[in-house]
Amino acid sequence: MSILSLRTFPFSVMLSGLAVASLGQYAVSQAAPTPSPLSSLIRTNAPVVALTHVTLFDGSGEPPKHDQTVLVDHGKIAAVGPTSSITIPPTASVLDGHGKTLLPGLIGMHEHLFYISAGGGVGHPLLATEQAESAPRLYLAAGITTARTTGSIEPVADLALKNAIEQGTQAGPDLDVTGPYLDGRPNMILQNQSLTSPEDARETVDYWSKRGATSFKAYMFITPAELKSAIDAAHAHGAKLTGHLCSVGFTEAIEMGIDNLEHGLSADTEFDPRKKPGVCLPADAQAARSVTQLDVHGPELQGLIHTMISHHVALTSTLAIYEDFEPDQPPLESLQATKSALSPTSWSDFLNLRGVIREHPRYQSPEAMAQVLKKEMEFEREFQRQGGLLMAGCDPTGIGGVIAGYGDQREMELLVNAGFSQAEAVAIYSSHAAKYLGRESIIGTVAPGMQADLLLLNGDFEHEVSTIRKPEIVFKKGIGWDSAKLQASVAGVAGQR
């Protein structure tokens, strides 16, 4: 035994233990195929499936059609139409969809794979904990079949997870992995590295592009020169760059070539009279006033909307995370599913932070957050009305009440509260995002030839938007995942891992 192997002895015991385990599996699989550890989470993987008599929202934004049948054949949609017009092959597995609603698989465009672990309040270091186990399953269970990670804390883990999902060894949405946050100084999350120069911004984008990141996100304290450098570097790799901005105003970022803006007006400091170039202003009462005093039909916002649309800059709606900062919103009774998903420690940390928000409301008054949310809803409606590309995601950050999947259900409800029809809200969460990703010929609508990504809801979503909280089966590439089993498999785990 060499010195090297003596030194590595404890590791070699572990490794050989693993090797024995996997050899054992291999030996068994020679005799009879071992069921995949994920197979208990799958409701159906029949090669041909007919979903009959459903109410169908096809993702285009058109009103729903009733008594429709969708035929899935080997991972693709083979036929869509009135039930009476579709011939169902005798080999098909038939799912009766009477009283149910079918949506395209949803595309979440602001979906982190971490959870903010703030330890229950002020004075604790702000850590973000990778949710490699719970987040992908909770997203998929809610019908999110494609997700952009929109700022990564552990890009190595996110990329490994993306590959594991593609290879079928983990359950979750297809991932557009965003590189690490491109932030300046200070930055809020302990694990984020601050950029030091425009050159550093370019090198960071180059480094993560080469390792598989397919999008980037600028964060609040990036300098204008770093932002410009990061945008150019991302574009050189064929990647898009979005931003949760603060130091740089929206119009300035649009002129630099940014592709997407996150959150909306509260992240745009350009209308604050105190604005100085490159400076991120505090989220205080004056900041709230500078947003709520704007008129969506006035020259400032009409000008901004025009600039965004003429430069093809998309907007990502994150209404659920705005609501998370409103004192005592949403009511705790509506968060029972979130409570059962979270670990007891994470749930109690969240309740503590709700207390902090009640005592010290953002913008210094309990009403200001609600007014900012209302203005944001008006802005998003006007942006879309004029032809802007609006997308959505849950942004599971804030004080911890918005989590993967369940947060997207709330976001969908809030889009409808904002005045979008159900069909428009579905399009925001599907075909709009597919268009932004350049994947609109593959995902985002329910039509023949498209990938069979579908969300079956157990109820009438057309007349009751809270039906979004009743996902039953989520098809991804034709495999029908059981939502309840996905959720149960990680109950009490979210927040921890």
Q: List interacting residues with Zn ion (CB under 5 A).
A: 395
Comparing CB distances to Zn ion, the nearer of 61 and 398 is 398
Min separation Cβ 388 and Zn ion, Å: 20
Min separation Cβ 332 and Zn ion, Å: 23
Min separation Cβ 161 and Zn ion, Å: 18
Min separation Cβ 393 and Zn ion, Å: 8
Comparing CB distances to Zn ion, the nearer of 154 and 395 is 395
Comparing CB distances to Zn ion, the nearer of 395 and 413 is 395
Min separation Cβ 181 and Zn ion, Å: 9
Using CB atoms, what's the residue nearest to Zn ion? 395
Min separation Cβ 445 and Zn ion, Å: 26
Comparing CB distances to Zn ion, the nearer of 153 and 443 is 153
- Pairing type for strands 114-117 and 174-176 reads unpaired
Min separation Cβ 76 and Zn ion, Å: 33
Min separation Cβ 111 and Zn ion, Å: 9
Min separation Cβ 82 and Zn ion, Å: 41
Comparing CB distances to Zn ion, the nearer of 103 and 227 is 227
Comparing CB distances to Zn ion, the nearer of 395 and 453 is 395
Min separation Cβ 266 and Zn ion, Å: 13
Comparing CB distances to Zn ion, the nearer of 130 and 395 is 395
Comparing CB distances to Zn ion, the nearer of 242 and 430 is 242
SS (H, E, C) the chain: CCHHHHHCHHHHHHHHHHHHHHHHHHHHHHHCCCCCCCHHHEEECCCEEEEEEEEECCCCCCCCEEEEEEEEECCEEEEEEEHHHCCCCCCCEEEECCCCEEEECEEECCCCCEEEECCCCCCCCCEEEECCCHHHHHHHHCCEEEEECCCECCHHHHHHHHHHHHHCCCCCCEEECECECEECCCCCCCCCCECCCHHHHHHHHHHHHHCCCCEEEECCCCCHHHHHHHHHHHHHCCCEEEECCCCCCHHHHHHHCCCEEECCHHHCHHHCCCCCCCCCCCCCHHHHHHHHCCCCCCHHHHHHHHHHHHCCCEEEECHHHHHHCCCCCCCHHHHHHHHHHECHHHHHHHHHHHHHHHHCCHHHCHHHHHHHHHHHHHHHHHHHHCCCCEEECCCCCCCCCCCCCHHHHHHHHHHHHCCCCHHHHHHHCCHHHHHHHCCCCCCCCCCCCCECCEEEECCCCCCCHHHHHCEEEEEECCEEEEHHHHHHHCCCCECCC
Nearest CA among 416, 322, 399, 407 for reference residue 368: 322
